C-alpha cells in the first residue's frame, strides 16, 4: 500500500510538470517581446530536463517503463 501511494505521488508530480510545461509553451506562443519569449523558452528547457529526470527516476525506482502519452 505504501509503495502504491508513493508511485501515485510520483505520477502526480510527473503530470504536474507536464501540465506546467504545456502552459509554458503556450506562453511562448503568446509572447510579443523577444526577451519574454527567450525567458519562457529557457524555462521550458529546464522543465523538460526535470521531466526527463523524474521519468528516469520513476522508471528506475519502480522498474517500469513510462510511455510519454500514457501517464495521466
Q: Per the domain annotation, does 53 fall within a domain? A: yes
Total domain count for the chain?
A: 1
Residues 67 and 19 sit within 8 Å (Cβ to Cβ): no
Does a structural domain hold residue 69?
A: no
- Shortest CA distance to 28 belongs to which of 39, 37, 15? 37
Q: Is residue 26 part of a domain?
A: yes
What confidence category does residue 10 fall into, taking pLDDT thresholds of 50, 70 and 90?
A: very high
Residue 2's pLDDT is 66
The grid coordinates listed for 18 are 507536464
The model's pLDDT over 15-63, given as tens digits with 9 standing for 90+, comes to: 999 999 999 999 999 999 999 999 999 999 999 999 999 999 999 999 9
Please list, residue by residue across 46-65, b when 16 or more beta carbons sit within 10 angstroms of its beta carbon and e when fewer do.
ebeeebeebbeebeeeeeee
Q: Who contacts 44 (Cβ-Cβ below 8 Å, separation ≥6)?
A: 21, 24, 25, 28
**Mean predicted confidence (pLDDT) in 4-22:** 94
Q: For residue 17, tell me if it sits in a domain.
A: yes
Per the model's pLDDT, the better-predicted residue between 2 and 55 turns out to be: 55
Range of the domain at 58: 2-62
Amino acid at each position: 500500500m505504501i509503495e502504491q501511494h508513493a508511485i501515485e505521488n510520483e505520477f502526480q508530480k510527473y503530470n504536474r510538470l507536464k501540465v506546467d510545461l504545456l502552459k509554458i509553451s503556450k506562453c511562448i506562443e503568446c509572447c510579443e517581446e523577444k526577451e519574454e519569449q527567450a525567458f519562457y523558452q529557457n524555462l521550458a528547457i529546464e522543465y523538460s530536463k526535470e521531466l526527463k529526470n523524474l521519468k528516469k527516476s520513476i522508471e528506475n525506482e519502480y522498474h517500469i517503463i513510462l510511455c510519454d502519452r500514457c501517464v495521466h
